[in-house]
Structures are given as structure tokens and as C-alpha cells.
Amino acid sequence: MRNVIQTRLRTFCPKTIVVLVKQMAVGNRRTLQTAFIGCVLVACVLLSYTYYEYHHTTQAVPKGFFKQRSPMPPQTKRLLPPRHLPPPGPCTCHKSARILKNYLSEEVEQRRHKEFQQHKARTESVLSTRLYAPSNSPLQYPIQGFKVRPMTSTLIPGLALHAEQRSSYTVFLEVSKGVLKTVIPAGGAQVQGNGESRLMMESSSLEALNELLANVSYTSTVYHIHTGDLASFKFEDHEGVFPITIKQPQPPVLYDMGKDINSQVTITTKTFLRYPEVNRLLKSIREFYKDIEVIIADDSFKPESITGDHTKHFIMPPGKGWFAGRNLAVSQVTTKYFLWVDDDFQFTKWTNIEEMVKIMEANPELDVLGGKVKGSQFEFTINYEEGDEMEGGCLSKFRGGFHSLPGYPQCSVTNGVVNFFLARTDAAKRVRFDPQLKRIGHSEFFMDGLGSLMVATCGHVSIGHLGSMRKKKNKMNYSSFRHPGWSDQKSKMRNTFFKNYLKCL
């Protein structure tokens, strides 16, 4: 403590004061006394302060409390994460998967790659760019939900600047697919680029600047039904980027549900060389649903007549195929829902279409709802990895579902169901059934609808499956089409490889 006092006395009684005192001693004793008394008083104050500081530092205050703090690091410009992440690498094929490129030539693979690039150009836009909100930014702007109609002037909501007092405020707005415009400013404000893609606004009044920002409008300059733009908003070293969705509004397509099941659902099926089966199906339908409409697509070689009230029989070119028949049947549906059944199914008391409609209406996000076929509730999930651009993706199917449908413990959410399902007509038409699949196909519809169709299945609604009634000769004729050879399988693999851009299945 003595060293501390000595140090501080030396600090507050420098040599200049000592010299002054010596000079005063020669000429004026009273001045010397005054200087001496001042030094004594300063020394007393220093002694008291030093004692207080020492006492409280060593006894009352935690150790290290008065240590000198590290200097603040110099401010650096904020670095945001990249807006575009690197593309995914190759996906991993399951050990039992089929490598699909083995089924086609290199020329087809090149055509597939070109087609994939066009697909990306149609489906991707700047709206998929990752955007990050800067921390502590004085800029205010919309971060979601700002939509404009093509080539239509629309005010940008929520633009504002929240900054501390300055002599002048300058902001910049910039877009790439449109133009920006604001009101003509009053005195004290300046605007450059009005009606152009880059807009500068400057004012000495923050209130006046925010009034200009509140009146900024955006107009796209090229007509496109669904695209987007990115707007850059800058003030000094701050920048915010926000998306603008450019979309042509679509009028809704609604279905009049009517008052009963007959105006809500149409039953659809496809038949080929199986007239005894399809007539048996019709008979079982009429036992429970006398007036419901039934649509039958038929590509038999020698069509037979199928008649009856509320029954439509469409004759196709011979052997046109399984999915082509599905497309034809669904294309003629005018109700909100259609129920798909195979021609060798049989309605029972557990085939409760009303219950399926009830569940679909309670869950409007659902597109497809399946049930059981002869006690079997076949459902499957699909695992799809996009993979890289050169090889394509990897797709695997697994039995089972994800979880129960909220409010319906007997139902589960999944990706695909058995051939007995209720579907929203407009949703199924958007995905469609690929007519290239002529003989074998079912899960391919759900593969094409992955990410588009919301699917569930319920165990308390079911239908019977009675199988074939054909004679031996007709049975052999049918089987040659129903169970084609390896060439048909290879064609199916080539189709899947190209259409779904897959590496393996």
C-alpha cells in the first residue's frame, strides 16, 4: 500500500510544483505556505481514496473485478451463409436395387439429361433461393407472402427505415425482372430511377423517406404465370433481400357435392377379357348402391355389351393397356371423387363409401384414401433421394405407413395404397396414369404423385376379392397379357429410368 501512495504522490506533485515552490521560497514566504498547504491537502485526499480503494478491492469485491477489460474487437462486415448450397452428391442404391441405366443406351441417357435440364428450367426459380435476415438491421421489408400479378403495379408492403439521427438518409432498391416506382417527392427529398429497376431515395427527413418507401410499387415487365424476383434493399452497409412471387391467380374448380353419395362419387374400373368378373362386380355394386354411376373402360379384343342403369361402358382399341384404361375412365368422371376398384372385386357390407367420403371431407388436404382388399391392407412408403444431376436419384419402397391420421386411429398416413381407393378427381387428373404402362403397373402412379398426392389408408373399410371366373382357354389367353415376358419388364425399367430420372429402383 505504501508503494501505491508514493506513486500517486509523485503523480499529483510533479517536478513543476517542486520548482515553483523553490522559486516562491526565495521571494515570498506566504506563497510558499499556500503551496505547501495545498500539497498536504492533495496528499490527504489521495491517502483517503487509496485506502478506500484498497480496502474494497481486496476484501469486498471479487478477485479480478477491477482488472482491465480486453479491448472490443474491431467491427467486421457481417457474413451471411451462402444463398445457394452445393448440389447434392450421388445417392446410395439399396443392395437389392436395380441399376436402371443397364436397361438403355448411352444415347437415351444423354436425351434424358437434356430433358431434365428443361424440367429444372420449368420448375425452379429464384423463389427457391435461400434468404437470411441480417441481425440488428434498420431495414424493414416483407419476408414472406408478397405476391403480385404479372405486369400489374402492386405496392410493396412494410418498407421502412428505422435509423438513428443523421443529417441525410439514402436507400437503394433494386430488382431484376421488373421496375420500381414511388410518388414524386416533396421538397427536401430526392428520387432517382423512378420507373426503372434501380431506385434511389434520399432525404434529410426520416419521416419523409419512410413516406416515399410506403409508396414504392413493383411491376414485372415480362408475362409469366408463375415465377419470382428478388428485391435488394440497401442502407449504408446494411442490405436485405426479399422475394417477390409473380403468379397469375387461378380461378377455383369446385364440385357440387349434392345431397347424397350418387352425386359425390363415381365408381371406375378397367376390364380386359374378364366379362364374367366385371358383371359380378356390377351385381355386387347394385346390391348396395343402386343409383351410383359406374364407368368401365374396356380394351378387349372382342367387346361384349355391358348394359344397365347408371353404367357407362367405353370401348377402347384392343390391348391398349392398363393405365390407358384408367385414364379413360377417370377422364369421364364429373363428381368430386371417384372410387377405383378392380374388375374382380366384390362389394360387401364393409365397403362403406360414405365413410370414406366423410374422412376425406374432414381432411381436405387428403387426395387419396385406400382401404383393405380381402383383409389385406397393402400400404407402402417411398424413400426418394434426388442424387446428383448426372446419375439421377435413388428410390426405394417399404411396407407400412408413417403415423395415424389425426382423429382417425384406424387410418394411417402413407405414400401408396392397394387398388381399392377413393381419390379426388382433380388431384388424380393432375398426376395421371402413365399410358406407357400397359400390362403391369400400380405403384408407379404413386411414384409419379410423390410430393403431390397426400395419401392415407383405413383398416375399417374393405372390399372383397373373388378372383378369376374364366374357363381354362380364356384364362391362358388372359395370362399371356397379364404376365408378360422379360422384354416388357425391361421396357418398364427404361420408362422409369427416363421419366423419373432415377439411378436405381
Same domain, 362 and 450: yes
More confident residue, 39 or 433: 433
Same domain, 298 and 327: yes
The pLDDT of residue 38 is 56
Question: Which cell numbers in the block locate residue 428?
Answer: 388424380
Same domain, 221 and 266: no
41-50, 80-89, 103-112, 167-176: segment of lowest average pLDDT? 41-50
Does residue 242 lie within any of the structural domains? yes
Q: What is the distance of C-alpha 360 from the center of its chain?
A: 23
The pLDDT of residue 266 is 98
Looking at the predicted structure, is the pLDDT value of residue 8 above 90? no
Same domain, 345 and 205: no
Measured N-to-C along each axis, helices 29-55 and 2-12 cross at an angle, to the nearest 10 degrees, of: 140
Same domain, 241 and 349: no
CA pair distance 219, 187, nearest whole angstrom: 26
Does residue 297 lie within any of the structural domains? yes
Same domain, 283 and 241: no
Mean local confidence (pLDDT), 473-500: 70
CA pair distance 57, 497, nearest whole angstrom: 78
Give residues with Cβ within 8 angstroms of 104, minimum separation 6. 494, 497, 498
Structural domains counted in the chain: 3
CA pair distance 11, 28, nearest whole angstrom: 26
pLDDT tens per residue, range 90-117: 888 888 888 888 877 788 888 888 888 8
Residue that terminates a domain, selected from 198, 216, 247? 247
* Domain assignment of residue 32, given as a range: 2-55
CA pair distance 200, 180, nearest whole angstrom: 10
Work out the percent of the chain whose per-residue pLDDT is above 70.
78
CA pair distance 391, 64, nearest whole angstrom: 62
Does residue 106 lie within any of the structural domains? no
Question: Which cell numbers in the block locate residue 184?
Answer: 414524386
Looking at the predicted structure, is the pLDDT value of residue 304 above 90? yes
Does residue 304 lie within any of the structural domains? yes
Helix, coil or strand: residue 336: coil
Q: What is the 3-state secondary structure (H, E, C) of 426-474?
A: HHHHHHCCCCCCCCCCCHHHHHHCCCCCCEEEEEEEEEEECCCCCCHHH
- The CATH number covering residue 199 comes to 2.60.40
Instruction: Label residue 160 by pLDDT band (50, 70, 90).
Output: very high
Question: Which cell numbers in the block locate residue 242?
Answer: 426479399
CA pair distance 189, 195, nearest whole angstrom: 17
Same domain, 287 and 432: yes
The pLDDT of residue 104 is 74
Residue that terminates a domain, selected from 247, 275, 293? 247
Same domain, 319 and 468: yes
Same domain, 364 and 444: yes
Does residue 312 lie within any of the structural domains? yes
Q: Is 303 exposed, middle or buried (0-12, 13-18, 19+ CB in 10 A)?
A: middle
CA pair distance 328, 297, nearest whole angstrom: 7
Q: Is 177 exposed, middle or buried (0-12, 13-18, 19+ CB in 10 A)?
A: buried
Instruction: Label residue 481 by pLDDT band (50, 70, 90).
Output: low
CA pair distance 312, 294, nearest whole angstrom: 6
More confident residue, 237 or 440: 237
Helices then strands (H, E): number in the chain?
12, 25
Mean pLDDT score of the chain: 83
The pLDDT of residue 353 is 98
Same domain, 409 and 367: yes
Name residue, grid cell 443529417: 167
Most confident of 64-78, 113-127, 180-194, 395-409: 395-409
The pLDDT of residue 74 is 45
Same domain, 413 and 285: yes
CA pair distance 41, 35, nearest whole angstrom: 10
Q: Is 286 exposed, middle or buried (0-12, 13-18, 19+ CB in 10 A)?
A: middle
Question: Which cell numbers in the block locate residue 269?
Answer: 374400373
The pLDDT of residue 470 is 55
Looking at the predicted structure, is the pLDDT value of residue 71 above 80? no
Mean local confidence (pLDDT), 157-166: 95
Does residue 275 lie within any of the structural domains? yes
CA pair distance 352, 366, nearest whole angstrom: 18
Looking at the predicted structure, is the pLDDT value of residue 137 above 50? yes
User: β-strands 238-247, 226-235: how paired?
Assistant: antiparallel
Looking at the predicted structure, is the pLDDT value of residue 55 above 50? no
CA pair distance 369, 191, nearest whole angstrom: 58
- The CATH number covering residue 364 comes to 3.90.550.10
User: β-strands 416-417, 345-346: how paired?
Assistant: unpaired
Q: What is the 3-state secondary structure (H, E, C) of 130-149?
A: CCCCCCCCCEECCCCCCEEC
Q: How many CB atoms lie within 10 A of CB 251?
A: 5
Instruction: Label residue 119 by pLDDT band (50, 70, 90).
Output: confident
Cα–Cα nearest to 233, from 195, 204, 199, 210: 199
Beta pairing partners, 408: 405
CA pair distance 360, 373, nearest whole angstrom: 19
Same domain, 235 and 265: no
CA pair distance 478, 471, nearest whole angstrom: 10
